[in-house]
Amino acid sequence: MSKIAFFCIPAHGHTNPTLEVVKELVKRGNEVWYYSYDTMKDKIESTGARYISCDKYDIQMNLKPEDAERVGKDIAFSMEILVNTTLALDEAIIEEMKDWKPDCIVADSMAAWGKMTAFKLNIPFVSSTTTFAFNRYSSKIMKQGIIPLFSMLLSMSKAKKSIKKLRDKGYPVKGVLSMIQNDNETNTIVYTSPEFQPCAETFSDKYTFVGPSVRQIDYKITKTVTKTIYISLGTVNNQDSSFFRNCMLALKDSDMNVIMSVGDVIDMALLGNIPANFQVERSVNQIEVLQQVDLFVTHCGMNSVNEALYYKVPLILFPQTSEQGGVAYRVNELGAGVYLKDNSVSAIKEAVKEILNNPIYKKNAEIIAKDFHKCGGPKLAANKILEVAGK
């Protein structure tokens, strides 16, 4: 039996892919401790892992929903969060890890405190990467203009001050990029297929492309004859009420069913009258929904895209961040989706018509799904973690 510690950020798209892996590890008799935040408590405990709350070490950054986009663009801001969280958790986690002596630490690529703990205590480490794996080749799909690039360089200069705080606490941090990216010597699990991953051949054998880790349900979903569309902007950048209103205007007179998930923050009153063919919810069971629908209008979060393509669903691409833009680019490049030109009624109608009237998008989604299904999934991920733990 091995002892495995998981660390993750409080985001569904980063947590969900790890859950089936944790279940697999627990099923094999391993002991798993999972450090996360209380919004994720129930789903983590359902895996059989021991959940450990990080909320009591809240760094009091007073983050707002709109800060999510800033995290993806402002490295200094992101580094401040990562460093302050690492330092806030330092004393408790370091002592617990020293006492428990885990055989391996698995940390989300954004949960730098897990990675830093592993390096500080010389514990075998595995990065859990729920986005594409990035290096100088694959990062070309994240087409940065000169202004964002200049801003990033300025931010990196400011972020160096945060790095010094970690070094003063004994963390072996080489620089800003060493905290937020992996190299070819880091054992890394990537939750997609090598065929979907851009430039997969440029990564070392330390990278294991396990395919999507999708929660399985033990009952059959029956798809209706009526065409069904699913619309969601995810759980973070989802407050664009004009987008949701325009979706209703575009599709209200169609002969299709529409399931629309609008999140917990938006004021429902801003949506106006809900058309009879619309089912509008704060949240849905996405795995169930994707098995019923013919089309997904998505923000292009990696987890959502993986789940959709796993179930052979073509996509209308409406990315909200640069990371999501990279995912959208790859989907479009492989012919499994089209970009939404803007959030106007006419653009929505045009994109829906294009996907549903042209079978090539469904066919290409099926090809990607086939590649996903032949990957090892949670079992392969568990094998990799236990291999690292045993070394």
Predicted local distance difference test score (pLDDT) of residue 156: 55
Question: What confidence category does residue 110 fall into, taking pLDDT thresholds of 50, 70 and 90?
Answer: confident
* Average pLDDT, rounded, for the chain: 88
**Whether pLDDT at 349 is above 90:** yes
- Rounded CA-CA distance 127/181 in Å is 10
Three-class secondary structure of residue 141 per DSSP: helix
Q: What is the pLDDT of residue 176?
A: 65
127-138: pLDDT as tens digits: 999 999 988 888
Reported as a single tens digit per residue, the pLDDT across 84-96 is: 888 888 888 999 9
146: confidence class by pLDDT, cuts 50, 70, 90: very low
Give the pLDDT of residue 84.
Answer: 81
pLDDT reading at 179 higher than 80: no
- Asked if the domains 3-211+375-390 and 228-373 are classified in one and the same CATH topology, the answer is yes
Architecture, CATH, for domain 228-373: 3-Layer(aba) Sandwich (3.40)
Judge contact between 163 and 175, C-beta under 8 A: yes
Give 62's pLDDT tier (boundaries 50, 70, 90): low
pLDDT tens digits, 204-231 = 999 999 999 998 877 777 778 799 999 9
Q: Per-residue pLDDT for 286 more than 50?
A: yes
* pLDDT above 90 coverage of the chain, percent: 64
Two tokens, residue 283 = 């949240």
- Determine the average pLDDT of the residues in 173-194: 82
pLDDT of 56 over the 70 cut: yes
Work out the pLDDT band at 301, boundaries 50, 70, 90: very high
Q: How many CB atoms lie within 10 A of CB 346?
A: 11
Residues in the chain: 391
How far apart are alpha carbons 302 and 281 in whole angstroms? 22
| pLDDT tens for each residue of 354-376 | 999 999 999 999 999 999 999 99
Q: Under CATH, which number does the domain 3-211+375-390 receive?
A: 3.40.50.2000
Mean pLDDT of 301-320: 96
C-alpha R_g of the chain = 21
Q: Residue 377 contacts by C-beta under 8 Å, 6 or more apart in sequence?
A: 20, 210, 211, 212, 213, 214
Dihedral angle over CA of 368, 371, 376, 377, nearest 10 = 0
C-alpha to C-alpha distance for 44 and 34, rounded to whole angstroms: 7
Query: What does the domain layout of the chain look like in residue ranges?
Result: 3-211+375-390, 228-373
Q: pTM (2 decimals)?
A: 0.87
